Each structure stands twice: as structure tokens, then as C-alpha cells.
Amino acid sequence: MNTIYLGLGANVGDKKKHIQKAIELLSPKITHLKRAKLYESRAVGFTDQDNFVNTVVEGKTLLTPQQLFKFVKNIEKEIGRIYRFRWGPREIDIDILFYGDQIVHKPDLEIPHPRLPERDFVLVPLLALAPDFVHPKLKKTITQLLQELPFEQRAIIDSYP
């Protein structure tokens, strides 16, 4: 089984409910699920939209990276995600952050997630689950990546259990 880390975020509708539903839908194919706290963060990229609620989950799966990608995209559809535009509002967003220590570079899938090192709303919840996990490309721990993140790039506003 492969250990994976997924980032989940939502800023449309009942954000917390969408995240909880996504985690429930993950469970048939992903076992040993652990969830970090929920964090409220400002939108990044296109900033004229509601704040996001974000978290990270850790789990184990037998799915390949490509199968996992299709699986999480189907969950997004089931929850009702509507693609509006890049970095736009979303009912749910599920990103594959890490798939063990694998590096995947395909047109529709890049693992580790390429913007992970610049996002505190991913690094902070990831820190709670795997502070010593080493980024397979950058060769730095999650703790180190968060310490190196400039203050002006931080988007977290609040946290919830």
C-alpha cells in the first residue's frame, strides 16, 4: 500500500460539509484516513472570492497515481464541483500532494503538487500529519518548507477542529 497526502479545499456552499462528504467518499479506496484540522484561508490567485476552508488527509491506497487522480476527480463531480475558471470558486477541490516518494510529471498530473511549497494552507495541516516527511524533489521536510515560506505569502486566517 502507498501512503498518500491529499489537499482538500472549498469556498462555495457549505464548505465544511463538502469537505466532510469528500472524505467519506474517499474511504472505499483509501484506508487508514487521518485528517488535520480545518483552516480558513484567503483565496490565492483570483482573490475576489469567498475565503476557503482547507485541510489535508493522509491515507493508504492500492490505486496508481493516475487511478487516484481519476478517483478524486469523480468525487469532485459527485459533490457538484463546477469548473468556472482557473483559481476560481469551487464547491470542492482535491489535490494529490504526495504519493509516497514518487515523482509524476504528466500533462494532466504532477506529483508532488507543484505549488505546495508556497501554500501555508497546505503546509500547516500537512505539518500536523507528517512534519518530517521529505519532499521527494526539494529534499526538504514539511517543517523546513513551512519555515522558509515568506510571511507575505501566508493566507491562513483561522482554524477549526
Q: Could you tell me if 95 and 75 are in contact, meaning their C-beta atoms sit under 8 angstroms apart?
A: no
For 31-65, write each residue's pLDDT tens digit. 999 999 999 998 887 777 789 999 999 999 999 99
Residue 100's pLDDT is 97
Residue 57's pLDDT is 98
Q: Could you tell me if 57 and 98 are in contact, meaning their C-beta atoms sit under 8 angstroms apart?
A: no
Residue 115's pLDDT is 93
CA–CA distance, 36 with 58 (Å, rounded to integer): 9
Structural domains of the chain in order of their starting residue, each with its CATH number: 2-156 (3.30.70.560)
Mean per-residue pLDDT pooled into runs of 10, the chain (161 residues):
97 96 97 96 80 96 98 96 79 97 95 95 96 98 95 80 73
